[in-house]
Chains A and B, each alone.
Chain A
Amino acid sequence: MYENNDPRTLAYVGKSVLRKDTSEKLTGTATYVSDMVLPGMLYAQVKKSPHARARIVKVDISKAKALAGVRAVLTGDDLDYRIGLYIVDKNILAKGEVRHYGEAVAAVAATSLEIARKAVDLIDVEYEVMQPVLNHMDALKTDAVLVHPDLGSYEFIEAAFTPVPKTNIANWTKLRKGDVEAGFAEAAYVVEREYDNPSVQHVPMETHVAIVRWGARDKVTIWSSAQSPFTVRNLFCHTFALPLGNVRVIVPAVGGGFGGKAGIHLEPLVACLSKKAGGLPVKLQASREEEFSLLPCRSALTYRIKTGVAEDGRIIAQKMEMFWDAGAYADYAVNVTRASGYSASGPYEIPNAWVDAYTVYTNKPYGTAYRGFGHVEFHWGVERHMELVARTIGMDPLEFRRRNALHPGSITLTGEKITSHTGDVVACMEAVARSIGYGKLTAAEKNRELATGRKIGKGIALLQKAPAMPSNTATAAVIKMNGDGSVTVNIGLTEIGQGSTTALAQIVAERLGFDIGKVHVMVDKDTESDPYDWQTVASKGLIMSGNACILACEDLLRRGYAVASHVLKACVEDLAHDGENVYVRHDTENCIPWRSIAIGYAYPDGKGIGGPLIGVGSYIAQGLSNLDKETGQGKPALDWTFGAHGIICEVDPVTGEYAVRKVASAFDVGKVVNPALLRGQIVGGMIQGLGTATCEGYIYDDAGHLLNPSFTDNKIPTARDLPMEIETIVVENSQIDGPYGARGVAEHPMISVAPALGNAIQSAVDADLAHMPIRFEDVWRAMHDKHPIDNWITKTPAGSCRSDPAARIHTPDAAISP
């Protein structure tokens, strides 16, 4: 929205207003679905597959059904519904075949958790174990086992996705810009390499949980720890062929999401159990172990980049091939593939570009959205590769990036022209480079090296991301004035910790000119009473719901002025207002308090006028388009947010052990709405990015069993893992269509932390890293093994499902045209 954003005149936007949801969260009274118990509620448990791929020969539920207290038992044969966000490929319970370790095979609802657990133990499943396909590069071979032999018959969204029947390719996203082969022919240098990373778990502190009551006449109520109540409703109704009005989704406080609670997850299964149990409410909460394998993770990626560079360091051509490991079901991975495909180069101008991005089915727990939506994964490749290219051509990596980074006038991969209002990635880079003293060591740092024997390295990495969403993504806000002149704001965007509730309250208070204490934004969401919002994902909340709130404020004021105009006997054009009154500009004592017209005005003689003041604002993404399926050209991005991280690390040159001493992070956020909230997003995301960079990731054995589904074996950062120094920097080039100039920045802090660390380690000890996470032993190995390309691949521990060189001769084309 075209709002004034002069900081001198803003009362709330730009201020560290305290969070609106802390009274409950600080006292233990905020209600999460985990905390809820309904009258008559049953408890569900799931029987899970111990195999990665097996035929289900027989499921014997007789002993479970006979157990006292068991109210419902379901197997795949009982249910004939398939679900899927973009490709409808998943049965609610496995039918005929299990496709990954941890997949749900049967489920029970009982009067207590203990009975449900016992009942699940009493279910006997006979399997015929089959050879799984675990490595996504192997899955592309012509003789590969097909995870979904019936892929060609599945329903899917044709405007955006291209499954390849009779292969394991769930989607193939293409992008073609210019003439990439001509570019390579012209290049002075061509540098090619492959980068990879494993699957990773989101680790929301509250595991997935849903309570569903399937009532009479198919009226269904769902309480869910979900990011997106309206998407849960839409997909649920699609699956069960129910009218939207039959299903109500309620989302109270949510204990973290990070993308893992977007889409739809436990709700359909729990609903079927409730229906089977005669309509009693049923609750299912994932255990932490189930969170790793019953529920989805982040996809693994193998990213191959070939870059052609001119003598002066300009990139002329780049070919990018992404191989996304979807796991057993497509879920969000196909859209991660699409969004990563059109952003594949990172924030650089590539005149001749070629992208093939594949989503590949394997027999592993499936991938979904995770903070960054693919950008954390592929920026590892892009930003390690930019470092490698710069070093190969003998140019300073900072200067190399400066020459190739997007700037006003640049054309993106999809043909969009960058303007001065798109954001400034170079400004972010220069800021973090200054902050870490890039390119040299201070006297103190040199002394420290001498004293400790450890080497200090400095690295930077850039990043970009736009919301990955349908071109017609929409949201709305409803602002209701209360009898005391305060307002209550309803939006469909959920509060999963990101702080939107507070930031939107600031925007409403600012636009209305009301005291922030008079602005209440509802935290609990209910599809029956809140206006539609597509999803709480993609860093689109602030920009889209912010705009909807501004429009709703304007509507509310318009309606208030219409009533006040009658009461004050003045033209609407002559009216103005403050937080207390509407008044006549040239006669300020001729005024009426908001509270007197809030729910309708009564004249002294008792006659009424007006009625409850309610403002409505609807906002839909402007000017976006579908991408051409052959060339990838079009406009996918509501807004681009650019940023950079700079890292100083200290590495033991003998053992490869390292410590992160400083992280500086900068983002062009357009406009800071709340500095403290923003810092929470930046530091929180950066530390989550450090987890991905240093230690997190799924490890499997040769049979596809997940070996580390727990906090014992899959560590996440703790307070002790913080860098010694953290600096958070902002650049503010207004987003013209953002609320007060703001753009989204929730996912971005997690992106490119890993390559900044990799680049810093390389500058310290010349360890050339291509695989993340970067464990100490990887650094040691890279220091000792100078074989340039595949040192990290050939030294892979058996069974960890990484790319092996033999797989690389089998290109996807071979699989597509047998």
Chain B
Amino acid sequence: MRINVTVNGIAYEKDVAENRTLLRFLREDLGLTGTKEGCGAGECGACTVFFNGKTVNSCMVLAVEANEGTIETIEGESSGGMLSRLQEAFDRHHAVQCGFCTAGMIMSARELIHHTPHPTVDQIKEGLEGNFCRCTGYEQIIEAVLDVTGGYTAKEELIHV
């Protein structure tokens, strides 16, 4: 089926198989490999993208469903070679380790901030609970989101005894 879809502001017209997922369409047909597959079953959140302004697990959406739709991915997060404020905060707070969950995590954080500009820690935890991270233990990710939303109070990384 032929679909028209706008991804990160660029309009595409593509033929896709009816059973192709949005995730594979983005990664394999458009070469946007920043969005990752962690489970292929809608459980881990690594494939989170914006679809018409709301986050979805792109492994659970068919590409044909995105016809006439708008998609935003991690590749659209920075602009002109400059990181977004959210990306800068992730960097500053060491909220990245292996980096495989990072794209999905940033998408979910962005949606959270869109709905809740000044989230509490509990609201952040709830907003990110669909995104697995096996490396960081989430704490530095939560701090990054707090920082970018004005709720962060600086503290020592470690207590020395």
Contact = CB atoms under 8 A, between A and B. Distances in A.
A688 to B, nearest CB: 7
Contacts of A28: 32-35, 73-75, 77, 103
Given A22-B91, A710-B39, A722-B139, A35 B97 contact: no
A19 B91 contact: yes
A255 B128 CA distance: 19
Contacts of A729: 158-161
Interface string A196-216: 000000111111000000000
A205 B98 contact: yes
Contact of A726 (B74, B83, B139): B139
A683 B136 contact: yes
A498 to B, nearest CB: 7
Contacts of B41: 288, 710-712
Contacts of B160: 672, 729-732
Interface in B86-117: 87, 90-94, 96-103, 106
Most chain A CB neighbours (cut-off 10 Å) among B37, B39, B93, B129: B39
Contacts of A287: 40
A30 interface: yes
A204 B44 contact: no
A810 B44 CA distance: 43
Contacts of B133: 205, 719
Contacts of A31: 33
Contacts, number: 205
Contact of B36 (A255, A678, A711, A716): A255
Interface string A33-67: 01101000000000000000000000000000000
Contact of B158 (A204, A206, A499, A730): A730
A680 interface: yes
B35 A204 contact: no
A675 B134 contact: no
A287 B41 CA distance: 10
B141 interface: yes
A722 B137 contact: yes
A32 interface: yes
A683 B99 contact: no
Nearest to A258: B134
Contacts of B39: 288, 710-711
A809 to B, nearest CB: 40
Interface in A238-269: 253-258
B157 A205 contact: no
Contact of B125 (A685, A711, A719): A719
A181 interface: no
Contact of A710 (B43, B97, B131): B43
Contacts of B132: 203, 205, 711, 716, 718
B142 interface: yes
A91 interface: no
Most chain B CB neighbours (cut-off 10 Å) among A26, A686, A719, A728: A719
Contacts of B140: 676, 679-680, 683
Contacts of A417: none
Contacts of B69: none
B133 to A, nearest CB: 7
A255 B97 CA distance: 9
B71 interface: no
A496 B94 contact: no
Nearest to A29: B34
B158 A722 contact: no
Given A675-B158, A683-B140, A22 B36 contact: no
A34 B74 CA distance: 17
A416 to B, nearest CB: 25
Contacts of B90: 22, 26
Contact of A719 (B44, B94, B99, B142): B142
Contacts of B99: 21-22, 24-26, 30, 253, 255, 497
Contacts of A26: 77-78, 83, 87, 90-91, 96, 99, 102, 106
Interface string A278-315: 00000000011000000000000000000000000000
A719 to B, nearest CB: 4
A719 B124 contact: yes
A662 to B, nearest CB: 13
Contacts of B32: 28
A666 interface: yes
A24 B35 CA distance: 13
Given A253-B99, A712-B43, A719-B141, A684 B136 contact: yes
Contacts of A25: 96, 98-99, 102
A460 interface: no
A431 B83 CA distance: 39
B97 A680 contact: yes
B134 A716 contact: yes
Contacts of A685: 137
A427 interface: yes
A486 B42 CA distance: 45
Contacts of B139: 679, 683, 722, 726
Interface in B127-161: 128-142, 156-161
B27 interface: yes
A720 interface: yes
Interface in A442-501: 496-499
Given A28-B77, A716-B134, 14 more contacts: A18-B92, A22-B99, A28-B32, A205-B134, A206-B98, A255-B99, A257-B98, A288-B41, A676-B94, A688-B137, A710-B43, A720-B125, A728-B159, A729-B159
Interface of A: 16, 18-19, 21-32, 34-35, 37, 202-207, 253-258, 287-288, 427, 431, 435, 496-499, 666, 672, 675-680, 683-688, 710-712, 716, 718-720, 722, 726-732
